Amino acid sequence: MLNCRVCGAAIKPLMSFGRMPIANGFLTPSQFSEEYFYELAIAFCEPCGTLQIVDQPDPGKMFHEEYAFFTRTSKRMVAHFASYAEWALSRFLTRPDPFVVEIGCNDGAMLENFSRRGIRQLGVEPSANVAAEAERHGIRTVVAFFNLETARKIRDRNGPADAILAANVICHIPDINGVARGVAHLLADKGVFIFEEPYLGAMIHKGSYDQIYDEHVFIFSAQSVKNAFRPHGLELINALPQTTHGGSMRYVLARQGAYPVSEEVERAFANEREQGLTRAETYEAFRVRCERSRDELAGLIRGLRRDGRRVAGYGATSKSATVLNYCGLGPRDIEFITDTTPIKQNKFTPGTHIPVRDHDTFAKDYPEYAVLFAWNHEAEILEKEAGFALAGGKWVKYVPDVSIS
């Protein structure tokens, strides 16, 4: 029997995406034979409303000294974190000498906005290589997973945190109760815990099943966040929709009663009820939509290849691991995937072993079709790649529906 990681209730899988590799596990041919696989299945817990993956690989297999995701690869995300920091500063960090902690600070793209202003800050980051990049940008980091023990050490050395921030990180941590205990310990009495993540409502609305992969152990809603943190004395005081990562939600939590609860919270709950996020049928319809999307995308690409067309991919995202493996697409279907991240280049995609190439490979000899795996950066990419369309190139998209444009 399986138990919900949030509330402990019994849960059962609602669908499986099949055998999956580590989503950020880009590899060299010598590593193919020892590649690690697990089954990617999801379950929905009705009592607390949390969508979660059933089995997650050991976190040490995902977050380590060769972690492949660097925030600074997207200019718009860097700009987004500058405005996130600005917003947190003006709203919540008004007392003298505030202290800011970021859980999962990656390469320091967010905390840099605080260090630049001389604000005391500390990043917690388990992947040593990205933490080193943050240090190079002048960010103090501790290489650790965030939990009660880490929180104790931070508080003992620095005092309580006025803000604990995170972005696209809290959903990575299976021991969500450990995170909540750590936050409850570290936060100042009037401190705030702010995090944003891909939003369940957006995923269901767009059919963007590629948000589901090993690192994303939870896909949160406002309701599930409220339920996860309430037992630890933390109250959801605001929920603000964001356009990043194809539709995210920013959650603000504080100690119970420390701040008034914004009406946005009730609005989010009402939207979630209306969208059926609390009902099992919604997830059954989602499963059917995933299967249709898989069949359409695989059929479209195979059809193009039968007609002798050249098809490449754009953005070797973690999300694409779910799509490629679920749809059964490999190097005969997709010639290469272009990506600007040096650590991914000249390696092969996890599970499906499609070569990853630098941007020049794409720009010097455009394919006829490019599958937009980094669809969450569509505006940034289409603007940058106007030349591809001018040269007659077509984008293949699969969110919200499979299409060619």
| Cα distances (angstroms) measured from residue 111 to each of 250, 320, 403 | 17, 28, 38
The one of ligand TYD, Zn ion, none whose footprint includes residue 384, by CB under 5 to 8 A per kind, is ligand TYD
How many angstroms separate the CA atoms of 240 and 252, rounded?
Answer: 8
How many angstroms separate the CA atoms of 151 and 144, rounded?
Answer: 10
Closest approach of ligand TYD to the CB of residue 63, in Å: 13
Comparing CB distances to ligand TYD, the nearer of 69 and 99 is 69
Please, are residues 86 and 116 in contact by the beta-carbon 8 Å criterion? no
Dihedral angle sign, alpha carbons of residues 334, 336, 337, 338? negative
Which of 15, 22, 23, 48 binds Zn ion (CB under 5 A)? It is: 48
Q: Which two tokens stand for residue 319?
A: 């999300």
The one of Zn ion, ligand TYD, none whose footprint includes residue 45, by CB under 5 to 8 A per kind, is Zn ion
Query: How many residues of this chain bind Zn ion (CB under 5 A)?
Result: 6
Comparing CB distances to ligand TYD, the nearer of 98 and 350 is 350
Reduced to 3 states (helix: H, G, I; strand: E, B; else coil), residue 257 is coil
How many angstroms separate the CA atoms of 339 and 78, rounded?
Answer: 17
Comparing CB distances to Zn ion, the nearer of 177 and 338 is 177
Comparing CB distances to ligand TYD, the nearer of 153 and 394 is 394
Task: Say which residues have a Cβ less than 8 Å from residue 371's Cβ, sequence separation at least 6.
Answer: 301, 311, 312, 313, 314, 334, 395, 396, 397, 398
Q: Which two tokens stand for residue 323?
A: 């799509």
What are the φ/ψ torsions at residue 101 (nearest 5 degrees)? -120, 135
Comparing CB distances to Zn ion, the nearer of 5 and 245 is 5
The one of ligand TYD, Zn ion, none whose footprint includes residue 16, by CB under 5 to 8 A per kind, is none
Query: Count of residues for the chain?
Result: 405
Q: Which two tokens stand for residue 358?
A: 């630098």
What are the φ/ψ torsions at residue 251 (nearest 5 degrees)? -105, 135
Closest approach of ligand TYD to the CB of residue 194, in Å: 20
The one of Zn ion, ligand TYD, none whose footprint includes residue 7, by CB under 5 to 8 A per kind, is Zn ion
The one of ligand TYD, Zn ion, none whose footprint includes residue 318, by CB under 5 to 8 A per kind, is ligand TYD
Closest approach of ligand TYD to the CB of residue 53, in Å: 15
What is the DSSP-derived secondary structure letter of residue 172?
A: G
Interaction of residue 45 with Zn ion, rule CB under 5 A: yes
Closest approach of ligand TYD to the CB of residue 195, in Å: 15
Q: Which two tokens stand for residue 183?
A: 């936050």
The closest of 37, 38, 40 to 17, measured between CA atoms, is 40
The one of Zn ion, ligand TYD, none whose footprint includes residue 377, by CB under 5 to 8 A per kind, is ligand TYD
Comparing CB distances to Zn ion, the nearer of 45 and 374 is 45
Interface residues with ligand TYD (CB under 6 A) are 69, 73-74, 315-319, 339-341, 374, 376-377, 380-381, 384
Please, are residues 56 and 217 in contact by the beta-carbon 8 Å criterion? yes
Comparing CB distances to Zn ion, the nearer of 35 and 175 is 175
Comparing CB distances to ligand TYD, the nearer of 304 and 381 is 381
Interaction of residue 54 with Zn ion, rule CB under 5 A: no
The one of Zn ion, ligand TYD, none whose footprint includes residue 48, by CB under 5 to 8 A per kind, is Zn ion
Interaction of residue 4 with Zn ion, rule CB under 5 A: yes
Please, are residues 139 and 108 in contact by the beta-carbon 8 Å criterion? yes
Q: Using CA atoms in the order 329, 331, 335, 340, what is the torsion angle rounded to 10 degrees? A: 80
Comparing CB distances to ligand TYD, the nearer of 238 and 325 is 325
Interaction of residue 219 with Zn ion, rule CB under 5 A: no
Reduced to 3 states (helix: H, G, I; strand: E, B; else coil), residue 353 is coil
Closest approach of ligand TYD to the CB of residue 76, in Å: 7
Please, are residues 192 and 270 in contact by the beta-carbon 8 Å criterion? no
Closest approach of Zn ion to the CB of residue 257, in Å: 25
The one of Zn ion, ligand TYD, none whose footprint includes residue 239, by CB under 5 to 8 A per kind, is none
CA 41 to the chain's CA centroid:
17
Please, are residues 242 and 194 in contact by the beta-carbon 8 Å criterion? no
Interaction of residue 128 with Zn ion, rule CB under 5 A: no
Closest approach of ligand TYD to the CB of residue 278, in Å: 27
The one of ligand TYD, Zn ion, none whose footprint includes residue 220, by CB under 5 to 8 A per kind, is none
Reduced to 3 states (helix: H, G, I; strand: E, B; else coil), residue 130 is helix
The one of ligand TYD, Zn ion, none whose footprint includes residue 79, by CB under 5 to 8 A per kind, is none
Closest approach of ligand TYD to the CB of residue 227, in Å: 25
Reduced to 3 states (helix: H, G, I; strand: E, B; else coil), residue 201 is helix
The residues of the shown chain that bind Zn ion, judged by CB under 5 A, are 4, 6-7, 9, 45, 48
